[in-house]
Amino acid sequence: MEKNLLLSLVKKYDSPLYVYDASKIEAQYKRITNAFSSVKSLKINYAVKALSNVSVLKLFKKLNSGIDTVSIQEVQLGLKAGFDPKDIIFTPNGVSLEEIEKAAKLGVNINIDNLSILEQFGQKYPKIPVCIRINPHVMAGGHHKISVGHIDSKFGISIYQIPHIKRVVENTGMHINGIHMHTGSDILDIDTFLRATEILLDAVKEFDTIDFVDFGSGFKVPYKENDIQTNIEELGERLGKRFNDFSKEYGRELTLMFEPGKFLVSESGKFLAKVNVIKQTTSTVFAGIDSGFNHLIRPMMYDSYHHITNISNPKGRERYYTVVGYICETDTFGSNRRISEVTEGDVLCFDNAGAYCYSMTSNYNSRFRPAEVLIYNDKDYLIRERETFDDILRNQANITLE
């Protein structure tokens, strides 16, 4: 997105502001489907938790994507966006049996990741097909907080507990129609991912009723110039061939599923914030913006990098700034970054703001959540209004204390 367009959107909708480019989302969706074009039956289920705005979900429906959901509320958002229940998979963690029952009654696909709930669900609903989430005990992701396939992870049923799963299936007569894994985010080592694949396929062999195999996602996207990323084309070629061969071995055509979130929406998003103050200390020049980790928590939570540019002065002399927020906590977006000279009132642009950014916002310090804009076919659409003070008070009981 051009800087002039972004500046015009800040002028039109104020700041801070999230902006998403639909054409980038469409390009990433096409890229992954092309990479796995050799697979006869492929299903991409967008991970709603990455960016859950209902207008974005409608865009994915238009692309013929399915969706992966992790809460009953995300299921309801998907239905609101017009998705057929059969195109929704419910992959929660640590939820009650009652929540899974609610999702099942809505007709969506069910994915269960612990033995206790599997047995309870199988006893009550043996005729409802269920997918099982396996923990392969392979750490294929990056930062420890986003790697979920290792032995100490809370996610999934251990691959070593397959005999327990089979006993539950035998005792309840339930129908297992899918096997799922997710090793974590920021996958770089394709060989490691393929080793996990073999573990998953060995699990599939233990059941003769499987219709689909869900490999999760976690593909790494670039966060800076010349950054490393998952080679999705190489993965598509190697995994696609292995999957086709396995389907023949299994004796019927299986569906290959993925549930990408970051891969599809991260690069589409820009976060725009105005500079409130330039503060020179004895050792640092701070650029304080009209936002904080209440709007963009990833740098503080995951040590994530978001490239920052001054779109108000893109050709200015570069200086070093530490970009911080207005929250009454330490909320540093970037330390000692080389940015074109910044003055108060300039607009800073944060890249890779499409995934796990707005969806993790809060009202901390009683601040308003920002607005969201979608650029579709060269037209800007306000897809979420900026919050107001009424929104802060909406669910609070303003009681009279006597």
Residues marked as catalytic = 328
Residues paired with 309 in a beta bridge: 349
Residue 305 · residue 340 · CB < 8 Å: no
Distance from C-alpha of 139 to C-alpha of 152, rounded to nearest angstrom = 10
Tell me what percent of the chain is helix, strand and coil, each rounded to the nearest 5: 35, 25, 40
Residues paired with 303 in a beta bridge: none
Distance from C-alpha of 5 to C-alpha of 28, rounded to nearest angstrom = 22
Distance from C-alpha of 58 to C-alpha of 249, rounded to nearest angstrom = 37
Residue 389 · residue 37 · CB < 8 Å: no
Residues paired with 5 in a beta bridge: none
Residue 112 · residue 130 · CB < 8 Å: yes
- φ/ψ of 191, rounded to 5, equals -60, -40
C-beta atoms surrounding 349 within 10 Å: 23
Q: What is the DSSP letter of 161?
A: G
Tell me the residue ranges of DSSP E strands in 71-180.
88-90, 109-112, 130-135, 157-158, 176-180
Distance from C-alpha of 260 to C-alpha of 26, rounded to nearest angstrom = 13
User: For 97-113, b where at least 16 C-beta lie within 10 A, e where not — what string?
Assistant: eebbbbbbeeebbbbbb
User: In this structure, what token pair is assigned to residue 311?
Assistant: 């779109």
- φ/ψ of 139, rounded to 5, equals -100, 95
